[in-house]
Amino acid sequence: MSEDDDSPKLPNRVRYLTKNCDHKITLRRTERGEGDDPSQWPDLDWPNDAEIYVLIDVNRTAPERVDGVIDGSLVTMRIESEIADQCRDGTTWRVVISRGDPSYEQPLRLGYFERNDGE
């Protein structure tokens, strides 16, 4: 990213994991509406050509990919415990949207995991 790039930085979000438990990430797409309360903004369906997935840096050279299931304005990514149990405190993740041909990828959310179980 250059200094002239005025793209906003995505905030880091912490997700908490517990051993032998699956983990779910959901995103709802909305259109900015009246006022400052996002819960009051109208839903907006994800584009038909969109693929949304989470990449988990269990191994930074070959991240685990978990594809999302899109249902209108909602996308859900279920991280099975087999993957979640490999994550340690500080393991990074990012939700990505991929669209079109040629493919264009853009991050939607960024964050890291913390263990809730001392593992």
The count of domains in the chain is: 1
Q: What's the pTM?
A: 0.85
For the chain, report the end-to-end CA distance as a whole number of angstroms: 35
CA–chain centroid gap for 39, Å, is 19
Does 104 map to a domain?
Answer: yes
Separation between Cα atoms, residue 55 and residue 116, nearest integer Å = 21
Output the domain CATH number for residue 78: 2.60.40
Question: What is the arrangement of strands in the sheet containing 23-28, beginning at the earlier edge strand?
Answer: 23-28, 74-79, 69-71
pLDDT by 10s per residue, the chain, length 119: 344 556 667 778 999 999 999 999 999 999 988 888 888 889 999 999 999 999 999 998 999 999 999 999 999 999 999 999 999 999 999 999 999 777 789 999 999 999 988 76
Q: Which residue range is the domain that position 60 belongs to?
A: 19-115
